[in-house]
Structure 1
Amino acid sequence: MRGPTYRYDTVTCRYERSRISFKGASMYVLGVAITAFFFLAALLILHDFLFSSNQEIAYQKENKVLQKNELLLLKELEDVEATLSLLKEKDKQLHEKFFAQISNTPNTNKKTKRQHDILLSNAKSFRKTAGTLETKVDALFATILEKNPGFSLRNEIANTKYGLIESLPLLQPIRNLAPQQLISGYGVRINPFHKGLYKHTGVDIALPRGTEIIATAPGKIITTKISTVEAGYGNYIEIDHGHGLITRYAHLEEIKVRAGQNIEKGVVIATSGNSGGSIAPHLHYEIIREGKAVDPIDYMIEKVEPQLYNQLKQFSQQQNQSLD
């Protein structure tokens, strides 16, 4: 057992027994307590660093799953954004091609919530965000499949479909077609010779002699007919555009192409006239699809504004007398 301690008193010049003051004892106890507190805190931190509780292990596993799902979700969203951009670009190109004007579709592209933003959220918030985005993605694909079966989940269009679009006779057979020139349309009309009703298989466009006639789509000339008989189509041309599409240009005056010749869209192929069974100079224009005549006005949309097309449609539907 430790005995009492002494100290030398310079006043009495004697060794006096040391006495512990209340202040000294308090400071000693406080120092011991602080040292013990920091030592305990260090032990707890070391324990947390080296050992994980069951709840922490469960959270770590959950975080790994969420991080994996996050990467998959972000990749899927990037694919969706790329698909939407492609569809909007194709829509813009088709709109400009068919209607000769830039599409006014508003730009609704929004940036996807990035990875660092998602990582800042807690697990519950991330699961909610992931669920919402997944629902939107599923709804988007469902809408695509419903509105246009041509786009599958792989968002592919066969090359033959692009070829068909290029082969469609979408131009008008003359330049600057005015609605008033469309004298007679497709359907039942009055025959100008016997005055009875008959099936008119094309549209009649009134033109001065010598007006240039142009090809409405690229293709191959399969027929050039010259006739002096005042009946039938007279001088006419037929062009095969592929995909079961043929256009016919009748009652011509001069033919500027030959059978077997390949031509581009918009090339002058003939001039208008009054040959064959015709009562006035005009162009009789037909579109034949899979062997059957169809209404040409449904195809004459390229570089035509909506208002002008509606006027052409109205004039073509008038029940009147044809010119051939």
Structure 2
Amino acid sequence: MAKVKYYYDSENLAYRKIKTKKRWKFGFAALFLVASALFGSLIFVLLLNTPYFDTPKDRLLIRENDNLKLNYAVLDKRMDQLDNVIEAIEERDNNLYRTYFNTAPIPEEERKSGFSGEDRYAALQGYDNTQLVLNTTKRVDVLTKELAIQSKSLDYILKLAKAKNKLLSAIPAIQPVMNENLKRMASGFGYRTDPFTKARKMHKGMDFTAKQGTPIFATGDGVVAQADNRASGYGNHIVLRHGYGYETLYGHLSKYNVKAGQRVKRGDIIGYVGSTGRSEGPHLHYEVHKDGKVVNPLNFYYGNISAVEYVAISKLANQENQSLD
């Protein structure tokens, strides 16, 4: 039962009942309802932010986060496979290609180094999965750098291979006169009897006897440095500069098939056998020079003769007989 309230009427000297107006009652009721609604909303918001209640949006985010972790795990496995492939290429690069071309290997620390500076990854900090994303990003950076280094290394190996091919083409590796055109191998490299003075002196090349006009071949790729008769004793002669320190000389020619400044390939006909200059008969005097020093041409005949032919020529060349020039 609601309490009845009174007030004292001083004019009439009596107590009278306090009558509440209806609009006040409605106002109090409305205020109560509004306060209750606000309180309920506050409680609802607080409950939503507790870990005990998940909204559909929260569940969606959780599922997306789990998928993200799974995708990163799959990516990590693929990077492991890629890492194994790169390691195999790097091993061949260091231990096969660079060994073959006599080039220093790339240090492991240079290949595996990442990128310096923490600011590079500052944007990845402060998230729930920061460490996962950070580790994966760093691995991708390292793999990217490894691929870049390996790509440059293979470009360098390709240049070395091309240079190696040029070197192999430049080496005087064949006989200057074909075996079927030879009468005999008259004299080899070393001390021989001079045909004119009969004194024992150094013979700086090899003498190949053949018919006048027999073709003479360039023994390696090069440029014709000389094609004249201005060198004492050699008569008509040709000097080829092959590069890499190699030069060859072809003496006593009957005529030339090239001129100074002309480029030639191994196997090109550069002249013909003769007996010009200080010579006792038709033959080719052939010399090989390496870094300014005369060397034994016999060491270079591996491009067009068999092992049996090489042994036979070697026996003849090493006999101390009389040279033809």
Question: Shorter-chain TM-score: what band?
Answer: 0.5 to 0.7
Q: Secondary structure at the match of 2:312?
A: helix
Tell me whether 1:234 sits opposite 2:235 in the alignment: yes
TM-score by length of 2: 0.53
Q: Distance in 1 between matches of 2:94 and 2:227?
A: 49
- Assess, with a 3 A threshold, how the Cα gap between structure 1 residues 258 and 146 changes in structure 2: closer, same or farther: closer
- Assess, with a 3 A threshold, how the Cα gap between structure 1 residues 275 and 311 changes in structure 2: closer, same or farther: same
**Aligned AA for 1:220?**
V
Q: Secondary structure at the match of 2:227?
A: strand
CA contact under 8 A between 1:179 and 1:312: conserved in structure 2? no
1:149 alignment partner in structure 2: 102
**Aligned AA for 2:249?**
R
Q: Distance in 1 between matches of 2:278 and 2:311?
A: 30
CA contact under 8 A between 1:245 and 1:289: conserved in structure 2? yes
Deviation string 1:157-191 (CA, Å, 9 cap, x unpaired) is 62433322221121221223588722211112221
Q: Distance in 1 between matches of 2:282 and 2:300?
A: 23
Aligned pairs (5 A) from 1:61-210 = 71-77=82-88, 79=89, 149-150=102-103, 152=105, 156=157, 158=160, 159-176=162-179, 181-210=184-213
CA contact under 8 A between 1:179 and 1:315: conserved in structure 2? no
1:304 alignment partner in structure 2: 305
TM-score by length of 1: 0.54
Q: Distance in 1 between matches of 2:322 and 2:224?
A: 30
- Post-superposition shift, 1:323? 1.0
Q: Distance in 2 between matches of 1:73 and 1:179?
A: 58
Greater Cα radius of gyration, structure 1 or 2? 2
Higher relative contact order (CA 8 A, sep 6+): 1
Q: Secondary structure at the match of 1:254?
A: strand
List structure 1 runs of 4+ shifted beyond 4 angstroms: 64-71, 140-148, 150-155, 177-180
Tell me whether 1:285 sits opposite 2:286 in the alignment: yes
Tell me whether 1:320 sits opposite 2:302 in the alignment: no
- Post-superposition shift, 1:235? 1.2
Q: Secondary structure at the match of 1:181?
A: strand
Deviation string 1:271-320 (CA, Å, 9 cap, x unpaired) is 11111111121100011222111111112211222222232223222222
CA contact under 8 A between 1:179 and 1:308: conserved in structure 2? no
Q: Distance in 2 between matches of 1:306 and 1:151?
A: 35
CA contact under 8 A between 2:216 and 2:269: conserved in structure 1? yes
Deviation string 1:239-293 (CA, Å, 9 cap, x unpaired) is 1222222211101111222222222322222111111111121100011222111
**Aligned AA for 2:102?**
P
Aligned-residue RMSD, C-alpha: 3.4
Q: Distance in 1 between matches of 2:196 and 2:227?
A: 26
Task: In structure 2, list runs of 5 or more residues that go unmatched.
Answer: 1-74, 107-152
Deviation string 1:35-75 (CA, Å, 9 cap, x unpaired) is xxxxxxxxxxxxxxxxxxxxxxxxxxxxx999865553344
- Assess, with a 3 A threshold, how the Cα gap between structure 1 residues 312 and 150 changes in structure 2: closer, same or farther: farther
Q: Secondary structure at the match of 1:216?
A: coil
Q: Secondary structure at the match of 1:224?
A: strand
Aligned length: 205
CA contact under 8 A between 1:179 and 1:311: conserved in structure 2? no
Worse-superposed segment, 188-197 or 203-212? 188-197
